Amino acid sequence: MQRREFVQRSFRGSLGVGAAVLLPRPLFARQLPADITTLSASALSAAIRERQVSCHEVMEAYLARIHRYNPTYNAVVSMVADDALLAQARDADQALSRGEYRGWMHGMPHAVKDLAAAAGLRYTNGSPLYADRVATTDSPFVARIRAHGAIFIGKTNAPEFGLGSQSYNPIFGATGSAYNPALTAGGSSGGAASGLGTQMLPVADGSDAMGSLRNPGAFNNVIGFRPSLGLVAPGNPLSRGLSTSGPMGRNTEDTIRLLHTLVPEAGLDQPMALHQVLSDDGEFDAASLRDMKIGWLGNYDNYLAMEPGVLRLCESSLASVATAGAVVEPARPEFDISTLWQCWLHLRHLSRVGMQPLYQDADTRALLKPELAWEIENSLALTGSDIQAANSVRAGWYRAIERLFETYDLLALPTAQVFPFSKDVHWPDEIDGHAMDTYHRWMEVVIGGSLAGIPVVNVPAGFDGQGRPMGMQIMGRYGDDRKVLQFARTYESVTGHLDRRPRMIEGV
């Protein structure tokens, strides 16, 4: 089965809706939950396609939830007017009446991360420099979402220019975790993850350079998937830098569906290792854990500082996986982990070279967050030798990871080094007594997957005694996106962490 056929099929709904859509509408309606927003995206898609619930009803339900809770959580920003959205929903219903089905997201509300362009919507990048900018065209992956029938209701909040794993900016403020809005939702896809965790969005897009799909996934108890570099935006993965767009979902099934939407048809500029990732057997059935071998990287033999409780939660979840049939054992890469950080810094600074004019102009420099100014200052000091050395370390790291995959099917380590912290704190300056010397050092745990360019999924690892969520990264060999997501589906059913819903708060 080819990908285009797959994305137009109904998944077997995780809430049992796949069977229910065969029932007459009155009987089916009685089986729907009281709040349509509790349906998974896959189940909602099936219900809309079979016209068991109207797009207008769906939009009304989501708008009601957003108006009730978004003032507290601040996940969705730059909202389109209700009247305009309801009119688009009626148009989607009329299209279905004519037999026109636009795709699996037909009539579903969607908010695009505010680091990407969606025609007709504000496109601020979280920066006062672009507070009033309105996009005139869609980013390529946004155009694919639109083509599958989604109705864009607004944007999801993100930190200024995506810098930092804490989603705050001077235009919209900070986004709160779905499980405690006083705590950060993470970043940079914080609005997306909070919107999912609070069920204000059915599914969400994001992007990831330094854990920006994974960290918010962990802090909101949802799935965040960083694809192999080159899958969503074809091209030489190493020459493309560090960042990639990717999907987020309330469960793995929804995440897989959105991944198929984000990825263009395989082209000549897509690495050959990725041409078959999404073709054929597109359902991505759950993986068998029998004979699967997982290497637990932990904190890299005490190299990384961890808040107490993080490792324990991850190890407890892995114990459940082992009980279900997998082999889990400690793993150690044959590599000096300490060299990765300087490599990361050089490449991160390099990615900000194009922003140097904003720094060199005194008027625009005054509007930049201090962390961005610091990145640009360091980009100005980069030398050719710095870049060459960083690329050499990166290549060596990739080879070390490849050697581990000769022994293990997958690798695991925590998604974050700390639990969600106050959203009034820009970034933690220490972890368990260890000082953090930069605004992103506390997220050093994610750079291994980013530098290798390999597929990484955040899966939930449970909650600490304060009810704060944590996640775990599952990494696969380059191009093994399918295997990583198949494991995530099995893990989801083995652990049950996604079943724990937040206690919603309004009026804070």
387-445: per-residue pLDDT in tens?
999 999 999 999 999 999 999 999 999 999 999 999 999 999 999 999 999 999 999 99
Closest listed residue to residue 174, CA positions, set 154, 190, 198: 190
Q: What is the pTM of this model?
A: 0.93
Q: What percent of the chain has pLDDT over 90?
A: 86
- Residue for token pair 């997201």: 105
Indicate whether 406 belongs to any domain: no
Sheet of 109-113, strands arranged across: 76-77, 151-156, 109-113
Number of H helices, E strands in the chain: 18, 17
Structural domain including 161 reads 3-288+481-499
DSSP state at residue 223: E
Q: What local confidence, expressed as pLDDT, does residue 287 receive?
A: 87
Tell me the average pLDDT of the chain. Answer: 92
As given in the structure block, the two tokens for residue 7 are 């994305």
Q: What local confidence, expressed as pLDDT, does residue 75 receive?
A: 98
Indicate whether 49 belongs to any domain: yes
Cα radius of gyration rounded to whole Å, the chain:
22
Indicate whether 420 belongs to any domain: no
Band (pLDDT 50/70/90 cuts) for residue 238 is low
Indicate whether 384 belongs to any domain: no
Distance CA 364, CA 354 (A): 14
Q: Which residues contact 350 (CB under 8 A, 6 or more apart)?
A: 241, 379, 382, 387, 390
Distance CA 358, CA 360 (A): 6
Distance CA 32, CA 253 (A): 19
**Average pLDDT estimate for 357-371:** 97
Band (pLDDT 50/70/90 cuts) for residue 16 is very low
Band (pLDDT 50/70/90 cuts) for residue 236 is low
Kindly report the backbone phi and psi dihedral angles of residue 362, in degrees, each rounded to the nearest multiple of 5, phi listed first.
-60, -35
Q: What local confidence, expressed as pLDDT, does residue 26 receive?
A: 52
Strands 293-296 and 180-184: what pairing?
Answer: unpaired
**Average pLDDT estimate for 270-278:** 78
Distance CA 300, CA 311 (A): 11
Distance CA 196, CA 178 (A): 8
Q: How many domains does the chain have?
A: 1
Indicate whether 343 belongs to any domain: no
In angstroms, the Cα distances linking 177 to 164, 220, 457, 473 are 15, 6, 19, 19
Convert 390-419 to b/e letters by CB count within 10 Å (16 or more is b). bbebbebbbebbeebbeebbbbbbbbbbbb
As given in the structure block, the two tokens for residue 454 are 């390999």
Q: What local confidence, expressed as pLDDT, does residue 278 receive?
A: 80
- Residue for token pair 């049939």: 325
Closest listed residue to residue 112, CA positions, set 133, 134, 142, 84: 142
Indicate whether 251 belongs to any domain: yes
Q: What local confidence, expressed as pLDDT, does residue 44 receive?
A: 98
- Taken in order 21, 25, 26, 32, the sign of the CA dihedral is positive
Quick one: 301 exposed, middle or buried, by C-beta within 10 A (0-12, 13-18, 19+)? exposed
DSSP H or E stretch at residue 60: helix 55-73
**Count of CB atoms situated within 10 Å of the CB of 102:** 16
DSSP H or E stretch at residue 153: strand 151-156
The amino acid that residue 390 corresponds to is A
Indicate whether 366 belongs to any domain: no
Indicate whether 393 belongs to any domain: no
Band (pLDDT 50/70/90 cuts) for residue 283 is low
- Specify the 3-state DSSP secondary structure of 300: coil
Band (pLDDT 50/70/90 cuts) for residue 9 is very low
In terms of pLDDT, which residue wins out, 18 or 77?
A: 77
Residue 237, pLDDT above cutoff 80 = no
**Average pLDDT estimate for 3-31:** 43
Q: What local confidence, expressed as pLDDT, does residue 7 receive?
A: 36
CATH number at residue 200: 3.90.1300.10
Convert 306-328 to b/e letters by CB count within 10 Å (16 or more is b). bbebbbebbbebbebbeebebeb
Least trusted range by pLDDT, from 37-41, 262-266, 387-391: 262-266
